[in-house]
Structure 1
């Protein structure tokens, strides 16, 4: 799978991962789950907005959005080792991969003309 991603457009990969994530049944237990001080609902919601914007903009996030993804990436790296099988770690690993791809392949937006 990793080889395929090396040749595939990162925007397409993130779009596909985002679609997989959206089709994943939401475990209601996650609504109240906090791991290592990180609220998983908030993390999921914020990354969802950033991935939507990044894909819609063809792989481009502004500085503030990219900073948000960087923060989320750090939170994911904190929580991943703490997750149990009951927490569906594959879901959070998928989000981690999405955040990594965005951070590695972001194209800053062109300066807006006023």
Structure 2
């Protein structure tokens, strides 16, 4: 799923003598594994019934879920990479999540979307600050609000497996 680096015994950055052939799992691989775990948790969570058909500031909650989940699933299926178009969509979804979560009054809905946001932020951090508009460099992954996900402007990242 991720990158595994093997050092030959003679490599300057590799293990010292007597350590055998050590394997270091890259940070990216660990992040993909963590995201996969969070993804499976998210898939088991029921979509909050009270948010079906709900919109906050023009953001359709079902589409926000589907778009974010589609980007995460594509990233997982690609072993931790996302093309520029989907990276922009993910950034927009994260902006929307930051903006709408405080407006959700249902505790189950807040928990569901906060978990989705954590997953999206984990994916975004692996993509790097340049690719995600500085997201990874900001404390807590917060971004200014801007684009919204709505029925008229939603673009799916991939086949979102999360369905309400």
Q: What TM-score comes out, normalization by structure 1 length?
A: 0.79
Structure 1 residue 56 corresponds to structure 2 residue 102: no
Q: What TM-score comes out, normalization by structure 2 length?
A: 0.57
Q: Which residue of 2 aligns with 1:104?
A: 125
> Matched residue pairs, number?
102
CA distance in 2, matches of 1:37, 1:86: 21
Greater C-alpha Rg: 2
5 Å matches for 1:14-53? 14-53=35-74
Q: Structure 1, unaligned stretches of length 5 or more?
A: 1-5, 109-114
Q: Structure 2, unaligned stretches of length 5 or more?
A: 1-26, 132-164
User: Quick check: which one's helix share is greater?
Assistant: 1
| Contact 1:33–1:40 (8 Å) recurs in 2 | yes
- Note the alpha carbon deviations across 1:42-71, whole angstroms, 9 max, x for none: 011111111111011111000001000000
